Amino acid sequence: MFTRSKTRALSLLLLITFLFVPITGAALNAGNIKDANLYKAPKNTITEIDLFTELSAKAELYNQNFDKIPAVVKGLVGSEEIAGKIKLENGKMLYVTLLTNDGKIEDFYAYDTPNDPKLKDVPSITVETDEKTVRKVIDSKDPFEEAIKFMKKGSLKVETESSFQNTVFWTLKEFDK
pLDDT per position as a tens digit, 34-70 = 444 444 444 443 345 699 999 999 899 888 988 888 7
Q: Is the pLDDT of residue 86 over 60?
A: yes
Beta bridge partners of 95: 85, 111
Of 94-103, 122-131, 163-172, give the lowest mean pLDDT range.
Answer: 163-172
Side chain identity, residue 145: E
Higher pLDDT, 90 or 162: 90
DSSP string over 73-101: HHHHTTT-EEEEEEE-TTS-EEEEEEEEE
Is residue 91 very low, low, confident or very high in pLDDT (cuts 50, 70, 90)?
very high
Report the DSSP pairing between strands 125-130 and 81-87: parallel
